[in-house]
Chain A
Amino acid sequence: MKFFLPILIIFLLLPSCKPKVIQPGIYREIPKLGEKEIAEREAKDEREDRANRILGEAKIETENILTNEMERERKVIESPFKDIFFDFDSYLIKAEYYPLLDSISEWLKLKSNRNVIIEGHCDERGTHEYNLILGQKRGDAVRDYLVRKGVDPTRLKVISYGKERPIDPRHTEEAWAKNRRAHFRFE
């Protein structure tokens, strides 16, 4: 590498003005910059430019050339679908999963042609019959959250598998925790 200077592309994301820094090969999100931080950052860039001029190096101009279409593609690559895990005998969505479900609802609103099946699963420590219904409630809890975030309800189907399809077949606390989940798949 001739130049070791990181190339920073600052771009604006949607009307929410969420700036992102993209490094070659890695996507990294900077958490919520306020107006003040942005102003500071611009001032810093200017200082660096001036320093570069003094050192006789070329000014690097940046321009956001990421189109909406590319942004969508990028979001597809960064598919947010991860499993949502539940406590024993519970179908209450834990607060820690709200950001994940928010990004899933954003994704679904962007990719309006993809329908999703939400699978509800349970660990083995329950009766067959009760767990089939508990799995349904877990799937429905996730569906309900996404619908409240504006996803078209007709695009979301729930299928409960009770304890019939564990992802981890062992009989340990760790396995049970992994099996109490809502899992996404495309229809």
Chain B
Amino acid sequence: MKFTVIFFLTLLILVPGHLFAKVYFDVYASGFKKIVIAVPYLKSQEPSKLRTEIPELIQKDLEFSGFFTCAPWSILDRDFQEEGIEKTEISFNKWKSIGVEILLKGKVQEQGDEIITEIYLYDTTYGSLEFAKRYKTKKAGLIPLIHRICDDIIESVTGARGILSSKLLFVSGPKGATEIFISGIDGFGMRKLTDYKTITVLPSMSPDGKYLSYTSYREGKPHLYIFDMEKGTQVFVDREEGVKVGKEWLDRKTLIYTHTSGRYSSIVKFDVENKTKKVLLKKEGIVASPSPSPDGKKIVFTSDMYGTPQIFTLDLATGEIKRLTYQGKYNASPVYSPKGDLIAFVSKIDGALEICVMDPSGDNVRMLTNSGGINDSPHFSPCGRYLVFSSQKGGKTSISLMFVNGENKRTLSFTGQNEMQPRFVPQ
């Protein structure tokens, strides 16, 4: 069931984003201050339950994002709720006096099958209008509309888009019969992409969303498949002996994966369109989880070349291999952030697997989870501010989201079964 939502977007007033420069978000610093936002009822000419429903949903999304604290409805008395939405009608000092920094105002109108919403965002410090947009959508598209509004608000306030409209790829199902799913991060619009009733794991999508790759046992052995999402056809299968796994793309048509059989492990670069394969690195023992740097110059990977799994980089121009991790006996599954300023990975600490980040040099290792369970598969959001990962406690594995400083942890839920190997779908 494909869900089509069409947004008619009208930009009413364009305000330069730098006016908001006073709000600087550094999510790498721990304990940054959340912004206090007020989202009172919307105005509507005809009676509509949307005038309270939309602000409620917006508040939920904004709280979820981790950037905002919403002023509780209990302190918004009649005066606050009844105030007009025009700049001249707003008493900014009153809002400031209760600690509100950003004020959202708006109106909603139901027209047949459509919802027309106008959203105005004010900075109470300067009494300035920062953002004004009109949104028009079908009633069935209410949830995507809310996510869209909130991502716009987050972009206006923080300088980069939110993740509320983002989609995730993940794997779910009973052991031995896992399938690939795609879903909004709130579970909205969830779809199953495979139905092989066997082990299917480690999905990834090419940067433009055209190709889906995964490793599946649908022919009895762990082969690597690439599927063309536009044409709905399978375009490649690596059926060589051994195990083939990979989930990072060098560019829109080049998948990087590993092939292990016999004595050697190789990092392979596969060009989907020209169907050409090139071995980038071949080593004895284990080579796993290759992930290219955003500039495409390096590949970070795991290897046991010194006995235990540790993280290394391979310089693609010179072939030079550099070891990054020295702490502990198990460091694996590295992945570069979209800006290349961080590497997230999994480290064995006190018997548990925890998610960590470090600088691309290997310095400044920070542990982000401390659950004592098995945390795996870290992956950055396209904006680079969040990480998704899987977390197993006892028999239950679920997907979580957090800021790259480890704060604002949220457990996501989709199928109700074990959910793992999450990845943001490229935007």
A residues within 8 Å of B by Cβ? 89, 124-130, 132-137, 140, 144, 157-162, 164-166, 169, 171
Choose from A129, A134, A140 the contact partner of B333 (Cβ within 8 Å): A129
Tell me whether A127 and B289 are in contact (CB under 8 A).
yes
Tell me whether B201 and A133 are in contact (CB under 8 A).
no
The CB with the most chain B CB atoms within 10 A, among A124, A132, A140, A165, is that of A132
Interface majority SS (helix, strand, loop, mixed), chain A: mixed
> Chain B residues with Cβ under 8 A from A129's Cβ?
202, 245, 247, 288-289, 332-333, 377
Tell me whether B222 and A159 are in contact (CB under 8 A).
yes
> Chain B residues with Cβ under 8 A from A166's Cβ?
175
Tell me whether B222 and A128 are in contact (CB under 8 A).
no
B325 an interface residue at 8 Å Cβ cutoff? no
Tell me whether A133 and B332 are in contact (CB under 8 A).
no
CA distance A130 to B304 in the complex (A): 10
Interface majority SS (helix, strand, loop, mixed), chain B: strand
CA distance A166 to B395 in the complex (A): 12
Closest B residue to A147 using CB positions: B262
9 CB-based A-B contacts, threshold 8 Å: A89-B309, A127-B289, A128-B377, A130-B333, A132-B201, A133-B287, A137-B285, A158-B241, A158-B242
CA distance A133 to B215 in the complex (A): 12
CA distance A154 to B329 in the complex (A): 36
Kindly provide the distance from the CB of B116 to the nearest chain A CB, expressed in whole angstroms. Answer: 46
Tell me whether A89 and B330 are in contact (CB under 8 A).
yes
Choose from B175, B215, B263 the contact partner of A132 (Cβ within 8 Å): B215
B71 an interface residue at 8 Å Cβ cutoff? no
Tell me whether A160 and B394 are in contact (CB under 8 A).
no
Total interface residues in chain B, CB < 8 Å: 45
> Chain B residues with Cβ under 8 A from A165's Cβ?
175-176, 199
CA distance A130 to B202 in the complex (A): 11
Tell me whether B374 and A157 are in contact (CB under 8 A).
no
CA distance A162 to B221 in the complex (A): 12
> Chain A residues with Cβ under 8 A from B261's Cβ?
136, 140, 158
Tell me whether A171 and B394 are in contact (CB under 8 A).
yes
CA distance A132 to B216 in the complex (A): 12
Tell me whether A133 and B243 are in contact (CB under 8 A).
yes
CA distance A129 to B335 in the complex (A): 13
Tell me whether B175 and A130 are in contact (CB under 8 A).
no
CA distance A169 to B242 in the complex (A): 25
Tell me whether A124 and B175 are in contact (CB under 8 A).
no
Closest A residue to B246 using CB positions: A129
B265 an interface residue at 8 Å Cβ cutoff? yes
B421 an interface residue at 8 Å Cβ cutoff? yes
Those 4 A-B pairs whose CB atoms lie nearest each other, nearest first:
A136-B243, A127-B333, A130-B332, A160-B243
Closest A residue to B285 using CB positions: A137
CA distance A166 to B175 in the complex (A): 9
> Chain B residues with Cβ under 8 A from A137's Cβ?
260, 285-286
> Chain A residues with Cβ under 8 A from B201's Cβ?
128, 132, 162, 164
User: With A127-B376, A127-B377, A166-B175 in contact, is A132–B245 under 8 Å at CB?
Assistant: yes
B308 an interface residue at 8 Å Cβ cutoff? yes
Choose from B286, B329, B376, B394 the contact partner of A133 (Cβ within 8 Å): B286
Closest B residue to A170 using CB positions: B395
> Chain A residues with Cβ under 8 A from B243's Cβ?
132-133, 135-136, 160
CA distance A171 to B373 in the complex (A): 11
Kindly provide the distance from the CB of A62 to the nearest chain B CB, expressed in whole angstroms. Answer: 49
Tell me whether B286 and A164 are in contact (CB under 8 A).
no
Choose from A89, A130, A133, A140 the contact partner of B262 (Cβ within 8 Å): A140
> Chain B residues with Cβ under 8 A from A125's Cβ?
348, 351, 353, 374
